[in-house]
Copies of this chain bind each other. A is one copy, B any other.
Amino acid sequence: MHAADPFLFQLFFIFVWAKLFGEIFERLRLPAVLGEILAGVVVGPYGAALVVPSDAIYAVAEIGAIFLLFTVGLETQPKELLVVGRTSLYVAMAGIAVPFILGFSYMVLRQHTPHEATFVAAAMVATSVGITARVLGDLHVLKTLPARIILGAAVFDDILGMILLGGVVGLASNTGTQWAQLLVTALEAVGFAVVMLFYAPRVVRRMEPGLERMSTHDAPLIIALAICIGLSYAAAKIGMAAIIGAFFAGLAFAEYSPRWNLRPRVSAINEFLAPFFFFSMGSRLNIAVFQDRKLIVSAIVVSILAIISKMVGCGLPVLRSGWSNALKVGTGMVPRGEVGLIVALVGLQMNLISEQAYALVIFMTAITTLVAPPMLKIVFKEESTTVDTIPEEQHTAV
């Protein structure tokens, strides 16, 4: 294993640097994920070049992205949607349409290629509700109506975002701009989602007795892992992003996750692998591109568009129940996260977007994530004081 020294070296230092930056960010009450990405920017090849990830590390990072989305899927309970119902669906749909249209239009106006515009717009779509949920939990307002709408909308948002990403990647890899092809790709993505949403959980349910008869130690976990990798491969094979398969695999197992104790164990795999993904992501960000002032302007405009478009898109469907609620829901849906970043990374790897556009998306993700918590604290101020007496239990609601 002597030849492997550089691999172990990278494995160790990437993990440590990512977690170190994550810890610093946590202490500053900023999202740890941004810290892990920043570690890649600062220590990686475009920064101090202390650690330059090899192909083996990128392979590990790719498995990391798969487990990241598998975990997101496992935590998404389609059943919970029935509670919050239609409002959440409308919030999610408008919250996807408005940012996508605004983002696409702006990018095309700035003379980017249609492919690049599509990828950046798609990256502006997916809300990452983790940060919102944590802030709302801290404020003890998770049981209020807007909070419940947000959490429900986030589930639809994830699923719709995945379908959109499937369509975008499929379209991009066909390089066709014919309408017929666009239709086929969209249908493929929707079909995949429908099968996975409605058929797959039933398959899992039927597998259950067989699984519990299997001789392999811990068969449910093994089967879940196999299906996760298998669907990732299948998704990539039919021209969508691998992570879409991983996400829907998670969704299929979400119902049985508590019973088979899947979540804590998949999370452990995720906690080991995810830092490599985020670090790699940062290590591909060429900070030199920001020397171009035009790009800085673009980055700021895209970030503002990302914030406003979510607030408007997600706020509008709630307007009937008052301005205050609309503002709360809109603000809660602002932060973008992993999915947007992965969209950008897929685009970069397919050579469909430039280093500049990639930098744009990371900048936008960071801004929306940093800006949301203080905004949430302001708009939820009144509830936070009125319901402050509700017992501690609420903390565990998410």
- Could you list which residues of chain A lie within 8 angstroms of chain B, going by C-beta atoms? 1-5, 7-9, 11-12, 15-16, 19, 22-23, 26-27, 32, 55-56, 59-60, 62-63, 173, 214-218, 221-222, 225-226, 229-230, 232-233, 236-237, 241-243, 264-269, 271-272, 346, 349-350
Beta-carbon contact of A11 and B60 below 8 Å:
no
Cβ contacts under 8 Å, A4 to chain B = 59, 62, 236, 242, 349
Cβ contacts under 8 Å, A32 to chain B = 216-217
Beta-carbon contact of B27 and A349 below 8 Å:
no
A297 to chain B, nearest CB (A): 31
Can you identify 30 A-B contacts, CB atoms within 8 angstroms? A1-B242, A1-B243, A1-B349, A2-B350, A4-B349, A7-B62, A8-B233, A8-B242, A11-B233, A12-B226, A12-B230, A15-B225, A15-B226, A15-B229, A16-B226, A19-B216, A19-B226, A23-B215, A23-B216, A26-B215, A27-B215, A55-B55, A55-B56, A56-B59, A60-B63, A218-B271, A222-B271, A265-B267, A265-B268, A268-B268
Cβ contacts under 8 Å, A230 to chain B = 12, 16
Cβ contacts under 8 Å, A5 to chain B = 233, 236-237
Would you call the interface of chain A mostly helix, strand, loop, or mixed?
Answer: helix
Question: Given contacts A1-B346, A8-B236, could you give 18 more A-B pairs where the C-beta distance is less than 8 Å?
Answer: A1-B350, A8-B229, A8-B233, A8-B242, A11-B229, A12-B229, A12-B230, A22-B216, A26-B217, A32-B217, A55-B56, A56-B59, A218-B271, A221-B268, A222-B271, A264-B265, A264-B268, A266-B268
Beta-carbon contact of B236 and A2 below 8 Å:
yes
Cβ contacts under 8 Å, A60 to chain B = 59-60, 63
Cβ contacts under 8 Å, A1 to chain B = 62, 236, 241-243, 346, 349-350
- Measured CA separation A272–B8 after assembly (Å): 19
- Measured CA separation A350–B3 after assembly (Å): 8
Cβ contacts under 8 Å, A346 to chain B = 1
Most chain B beta carbons < 10 A, residue from A2, A222, A243, A267: A2
Which residue of chain B is the closest to A215 with respect to CB atoms?
B26
A249 to chain B, nearest CB (A): 12
